[in-house]
A and B are shown apart, each in its own frame.
Chain A
Amino acid sequence: MDWGLASLFLPELALLGTALGLFVVTTTVGGGESADLRRAGAMADRVAFFGAVFAALLALVPAEGQLFFESYAVGGFSQSVKLLLCLGLAGSAWLSRGAARGQVSVRDRPEFHLFLTLATFGMAMLTSATELVGFYVGLELSAYCLYLLVAMTRREGDHAEAALKYFIQGATLSAVALFGMSILYGLSGTTSIAGIGAAVTAEPTTLALAAVLLSLVGVLFKLAVFPFHFWAPDVYEVANDGAASFIAAASKVGAIAALLRLLTLGLGHDGLFWILGGLAVASMTYGNLAALVQKDLKRLLAYSGVAQAGYLLMGLMGRDEAAWSAAIYYGAAYLGLLLLCFIVVVEVGRGREDARLPISAVNGLYKKSPMLAMVLLVGLLGLAGVPPTAGFTGKWLLFKAALDGGAFWLILVAGINNTIAIYYYLIVLKAAYVDDVEDPTPLQTSPLGPKLGVAISLAIVLFGVFPQWVMPRLLDAVAAIL
């Protein structure tokens, strides 16, 4: 049975199917009794999680080809990114089951999962879109779903403020990005990225490069690079853990894919990449410095995310397959590491009313749950770029690529930044391993939580030590889009 074109669209179909299922569940919720509300919530959790896992499996199916009249390219690059996105979705859905720490009201749980799935579909769409309009609609679909996810946190108080700030900055910067894209359309007459790329390289006027930079703004906002990162600390700190983990992990991978897709426009021009280099250094330094004084764990992870975006952007200075594949590898490592951190956040914050989680909440973790302490250890050391985790190998490959782009002194700045970063990762580690806690009662964690954490950390260490399992495939996947 020849699936024909549909075989190329399987992961997206799975996501849409899950969305449909969730939509059906939302309709059944009508009634007010809490018993069937709870049942519907649990049903929604299961549908979302298994739908995501199914989509991830489908993403493994090798697919190569064009869809929708050449506006949708499916290949090694897009499928590997979709795999990561679906794993991110599965992770976040699993983390927000039972509305993680009761931050999302039972009534809203089906909608919550619906938005998660739609956001993932949006990002999957922008990964394969070879055409500006599809790219942009995908970007906005995932963006709006994220705004709503943040706004849905049940607790009264700051969540609405964070959501609004997130929305306002997102909306304005997407208007600016649209402005840039309209100019690109004006210059090249077509909306297909390849066509625009050809037009821009044909006569690289300042206007063309400016337009490319403007259209990148939307993606840089999602990636939380320095001037466009102001939303991140507030959103991470206040949003419910499920949404925060999705924004931190999966959405960043989507942003990386979007960046790789759009940067193919301005490949030939050093000026554009020197500006991106400047942004990279700014976000590295700002992110690391601001994180030094943080007291809230999720806010610290936000600033560290800004810094990691800086490292990533600098890696892309290499402008060749090595840089692009290193970026994806680093994105995958970052996804895994963030999921580890958020597993610890969810498990440790289980009884807490407020969505915030001070670093002192992790005190004495080595006594309360040794396995979680080990998960936190691998997560933080991976983020800090310490061997043998994938964080280290990723950083090495990224900076090697950056050096091929002639950024020797930038790497020195990145090195120094890395040392500054070690300080605040070690502060959290100190809290977990060294500081004592009054009630050493063992933490009652969910049965699967720490075990999943250990599994992911094992994967991270193995992929860190054996990058060759995955890098060659990434290299020729990336060759397709460069």
Chain B
Amino acid sequence: MAWLDAHILTIILMCPVVGLGIVMLIHNGKDLLIKQVAAVSSGLSLVLSLRVWALFDASTAELQMVERVAWLPSAGINYIVGVDGLSLAMVLLTGIVFFTGVLTMWELTNRVKEYFAFTMALVAGVFGVFISQDLFFFFLFYELAVLPMYLLIAIWGSTRREFAAMKLTLFLLAGSALLFPALIGLAHYSGLNTFDMTLLAEADTDWGGMGLILFGFIYVGFGVLAGIFPFHTWSPIGHVAAPTAVSMLHAGVLMKLGAYGVLRIGMIILPEAMGSWAPVIAVLALCNILYGAFVALGQTDLKYMIGYSSVSHMGVVMLGLATMTHAGISGAIFQMFAHGIMTALFFSCVGHIYDRTHTREISRLGGLFHTMPRASTLFIIAGMAGIGVPCLASFWAEFLVFVAAVKTWPIIGILAICGLVASALFVLRVIQKTFFGPPLEAWKDLPDISNGMLPARLILAGTLLVFGIIPGLMLTNLDESVRALVAVLAG
């Protein structure tokens, strides 16, 4: 047991990789066996991420469960894995979304083997990013997480899938084109010639002008994936085209990769540059919130609406990071977790609706509350979380971020609060149009979510409720690490 605890992070990383290996070996025809292997590997990774949550000691800010292997010392690369307050929630989020994603796709019949193989690769990439503390492995897993998206969307997607897949992949990799020189630049201009993040952070080197440029590259590079304002147009198209579980993984976890990257690399290693970039980040985040909400209001397709709502909610995350205060950053990380779960729930419900009605046009849907009470209630719970209704996790996140924002930038804070109304507008409009109102003839006798498919969604809704009612669960773990980060930022 002790060995397991010492290497728990690598084992979590290996779950999807081993799963991938086994799935590759299984013959093409046996769909059920493949799905079971996928379920076991994702379930295991969820259980282990819960174990990491339990083992986590909230009283220290340093990395925990650290594993360090000198990989290629001549080039300054070593395999360092560890988790601290900032990334703990993300590991759990990935575990949950991965497990529920696999369950949601249980009825897949078309090319099952390749589907689960690519999903496993994607999730291995995501797990890798959240636990790795070395720039080389961070970037390696970051790119590994991006590339399977292309095939997942191009093969199993829906509307304009090839175009959407290509646009999405090129956009994200354009972001990584900026990251490549920035990460290498960090190692080079710090004079330490090592990619170990903790060393780079503690060395408090005087970056001078280069620091600003490097931070700019990191912010834009990761920001593209986090959907910051001018670079967000790929995410709605990507979500609409992607199959259900892929959009769950994508919006739920992948977009957090971007924000986490800015947090872990941008803010910790380049605090002064963050200081001068913060106003820009805040203004763009504000655009995200309001602009995303208003565009979502104008959408006619359910998934487009959720896509743009993710853009709006990611704005809240970036605003929280930009405030550089304890409440702000804790709120941002809480929002990353809460939004991930919420979007996953949103997409799984929409996926169910799409599978039954084969349309996502809001105008053609109506009165589903009576034909599919379960799917509607779950969608409404997700919608309410989106609006920031209390006793659901997103409320605390937005509450902390907005309070902190008003404290640091009163004008931006007050404008951001208007986001509350904007998000209420577009969510309620959709709920009223698709679920309330008289039940339509066309959707009279559609089956609701079966008992088999319900647990996946209940886990998501349950997590929203648990973290909504007891925010302390999240905030105590974050406390020390964020305090250390704020001290570094204060310089």
A: residues with CB less than 8 A from B are 322, 366, 370, 381, 386-388, 392, 396-397, 399-400, 403-404, 408, 411-412, 414-416, 418-419, 422-423, 426, 429-430, 433-434, 467-468, 471-472, 475
Check if B162 sits within 8 Å of A471, measured CB to CB: no
Interface membership of B141, Cβ < 8 A: yes
Give the distance to chain A from B408, nearest Cβ to Cβ, in Å. 32
Task: List residues of chain B with CB within 8 A of the CB of A397.
Answer: 75
In the complex, whether B154 has a CB less than 8 A from a CB of chain A is yes
Residues of chain B within 8 A (CB-CB) of A475 are 74
**Do A416 and B147 have beta carbons less than 8 Å apart?**
no
Does chain A have a CB within 8 A of B424? no
Q: Is the Cβ of A429 less than 8 Å from the Cβ of B151?
A: yes
Residue from B141, B143, B178, B179 with most neighbouring chain A CB atoms (10 Å): B143
B181 touches A412 (CB 8 A): yes
B140 & A387 in contact (Cβ 8 Å cutoff): yes
* 0/1 interface trace, chain B 283-303, chain A, CB 8 Å (1 if under): 000000000000000000000
**B181–A411 CB distance below 8 A:** yes
1/0 contact string of B120-138 vs chain A (CB within 8 Å): 0000000000000000100
* Cα–Cα, bound, A88→B71 (Å): 28
For residue A426, which residues in chain B have a CB less than 8 angstroms away from its CB? 150, 166, 169
Which residue of chain B is the closest to A416 with respect to CB atoms?
B177
The residue from A403, A412, A419, A471 contacting B170, defined by CB atoms under 8 A apart: A419
A14 to B406, CA, bound (A): 78
Helix, strand, loop or mixed for chain B's interface? helix
Q: Which B residues are in CB contact (< 8 Å) with A399?
A: 180-181, 184
**Complex Cα gap A112–B434 (Å):** 71
Contact indicator per residue, chain B 1-44, by CB within 8 Å of chain A (1) or not (0): 00000000000000000000000000010000000000000000
Q: How far is the CA of A404 from the CA of B139 in the complex (A)?
A: 19
18 pairs from A and B in contact (CB 8 Å cutoff): A322-B74, A381-B147, A387-B144, A396-B139, A411-B181, A412-B217, A415-B181, A418-B173, A418-B180, A419-B170, A419-B177, A422-B169, A426-B166, A434-B155, A467-B71, A467-B77, A468-B71, A472-B74
- Enumerate chain B interface residues (CB-CB to A < 8 A): 28, 71-72, 74-77, 111, 114, 136, 139-141, 143-144, 147, 150-151, 154-155, 162, 166, 169-170, 173-174, 176-181, 184-185, 187-188, 217
**Beta-carbon contact of A471 and B75 below 8 Å:** yes
Shortest Cβ distance from residue A482 to the other chain B in the assembled complex, whole angstroms: 14
Q: How far is the CA of A404 from the CA of B184 in the complex (A)?
A: 10
Q: Which of A396, A412, A471 contacts B178 (CB 8 A)?
A: A412
Residue of A nearest to B71 (CB): A468
Are A403 and B185 closer than 8 Å at their CB atoms?
Answer: yes
Chain A contacts for B217, CB-based, 8 A:
412
Contacts A370-B28, A416-B174, A471-B75 known; A403 to B181 CB distance under 8 Å?
A: yes
Instruction: Assess whether A433 is in contact with B185, with CB atoms less than 8 Å apart.
Output: no
Q: A322-B74, A392-B143 are in contact. Are A422 and B173 (CB under 8 A)?
A: yes
User: Hey, which chain B residues are within 8 Å of A471, CB to CB?
Assistant: 72, 74-75
Q: Which residues of B contact A404 (CB under 8 A)?
A: 188
A67 to chain B, nearest CB (A): 30
Which B residues are CB-close (under 8 A) to A422?
169-170, 173
Contact partners of A387 in chain B: CB under 8 A: 139-141, 143-144
Chain A minimum-CB-distance residue to B141: A387
- B115 CB to nearest chain A CB (Å): 12
**Complex Cα spacing A396 to B71, Å:** 14
Closest 5 interchain pairs by CB? A415-B177, A387-B140, A411-B181, A415-B180, A419-B177
CB distance from A409 to the nearest CB of B (A): 8
Smallest CB-CB separation from A465: which chain B residue?
B140
- Cβ distance B302 to chain A, nearest Cβ, rounded Å: 25
Cα(A399)–Cα(B256), bound, Å: 27
Residue of A nearest to B188 (CB): A403
| CA–CA, A418 and B139, complex, Å | 15
User: Of all chain A residues, which has the CB nearest B128?
Assistant: A387
Measured between alpha carbons, how far is A472 from B73 in the docked complex, in Å? 9
Residues in B whose Cβ lies below 8 Å from that of A322: 74-75
Contact A411 B184, beta carbon cutoff 8 Å: yes
Contact B144 A400 (CB under 8 A): no
Question: CA separation between A413 and B487, bound complex, in Å?
Answer: 36
Closest to A401 in B: B75
Docked pose: A244 CA to B213 CA in angstroms: 43
Cβ distance A387 to chain B, nearest Cβ, rounded Å: 4
Q: Which residues of B contact A419 (CB under 8 A)?
A: 170, 173-174, 176-177
A416–B175 CA distance with the chains assembled, in angstroms: 9
Q: A403-B181, A422-B170, A467-B75 are in contact. List 4 more A-B contacts (CB 8 A).
A: A386-B147, A412-B217, A418-B180, A433-B114
Complex interface: chain A residues within 8 A of B179 (CB): 415
Q: Would you give the shortest CB distance from A450 to chain B, in whole angstroms?
A: 14
CA–CA, A399 to B75, complex, Å?
A: 11
Chain B residue nearest to A415 (CB atoms) is B177
* Nearest opposing residue in chain A for B185, CB measure: A408
Distance in angstroms between the alpha carbons of A82 and B403 in the assembled complex:
66
Q: Which residues of A contact B178 (CB under 8 A)?
A: 412, 415
Distance of B17 from chain A, by nearest CB (Å) = 10
| A403 & B141 in contact (Cβ 8 Å cutoff) | no
- Across the interface, name the chain B residue whose C-beta is closest to A412: B181
Smallest CB gap from A475: residue in B: B74
Q: Chain A's nearest CB lies how many Å from the CB of B128?
A: 9
Taking the nearest CB of chain A, how far is it from the CB of B398, in angstroms?
A: 34
Chain A residues in 8 Å Cβ range of B141: 387
A358 to B353, CA, bound (A): 41
Complex CA distance for A468 and B184, rounded to whole angstroms: 19
Q: How far is the CB of A470 from chain B (nearest CB, A)?
A: 10
Could you tell me the distance in whole angstroms from the C-beta of A5 to the nearest C-beta in chain B? 33
Q: Give Cα distance in the complex from A412 to B179, angstroms.
A: 9
Q: Tell me the complex Cα distance, A414–B181, Å.
A: 9
Cα separation A430 to B152 with both chains bound (whole Å):
11
Query: Of B72, B74, B166, B185, which is within 8 A of A423 by CB?
Result: B166
Cβ–Cβ < 8 Å partners of A400 in chain B: 75-76, 184, 187-188
Assembly CA distance A475 to B73 (angstroms): 12
Choose among B111, B136, B150, B188 the residue that contacts A396 (Cβ–Cβ < 8 A).
B136
Please, how many angstroms separate the alpha-carbon atoms of A404 and B217 in the complex? Answer: 19
Give the residues in chain A near B162, CB-CB below 8 Å.
430, 434
Question: Do B154 and A433 touch (CB < 8 A)?
Answer: yes
Would you call B144 and A388 a contact (CB within 8 A)?
A: yes
> A472 — which chain B residues lie within 8 A by C-beta?
74
Q: Are B154 and A411 in contact (CB under 8 A)?
A: no
Whole-angstrom CA separation of A308 from B240 in the bound complex: 35
Contact between B184 and A396, CB atoms less than 8 A apart? yes
Which residue from chain B places its CB closest to the CB of A472 in the assembled complex? B74
B309 to chain A, nearest CB (A): 28
A370 to B23, CA, bound (A): 14
Complex CA–CA separation, A407 to B136 (angstroms): 19
A400-B184, A411-B184 are contacts. A468–B72 as well, Cβ < 8 Å? yes
Assembly CA distance A429 to B155 (angstroms): 11
Across the interface, which residues of A come within 8 angstroms of B136, CB to CB? 396
Chain A residues within an 8 Å CB radius of B166 = 423, 426, 430
- Residues in B with CB closer than 8 Å to A386 are 143-144, 147
Other-chain contact of B184, A403, A430, A433 (Cβ < 8 Å): A403
How distant is A302 from chain B, measured CB to nearest CB, in Å? 23
Shortest CB-to-CB span from A397 to chain B, Å, is: 6
Q: In this complex, what residue of B is CB-closest to A326?
A: B75
Q: How far is the CA of A179 from the CA of B224 in the complex (A)?
A: 51
Question: Within 8 Å CB of B74, what residues of A?
Answer: 322, 471-472, 475
- What is the minimal beta-carbon distance from B76 to any residue of chain A, in angstroms? 8
Query: What residues of chain B lie closer than 8 Å to A411, measured between beta carbons?
Result: 180-181, 184
Chain B residues with CB under 8 Å of A433's CB are: 114, 151, 154-155
Give chain B residues whose Cβ lies under 8 Å from the Cβ of A434.
Answer: 151, 154-155, 162
Q: Please tell me if the beta carbons of A423 and B170 are within 8 angstroms of each other in the complex.
A: yes
Kindly report which residue of chain A lies nearest to residue B117, judged by CB atoms: A374
Q: Are the C-beta atoms of A418 and B177 separated by less than 8 Å? A: yes
Residues of B within 8 A of A381 (CB): 147
Q: Within the assembled complex, what's the spacing in Å between the Cα atoms of A366 and B115?
A: 12
The complex places the Cα of A92 from the Cα of B367 at a distance, in Å, of 66
The distance in angstroms between the C-alpha atoms of A403 and B187, with both chains bound, is: 10
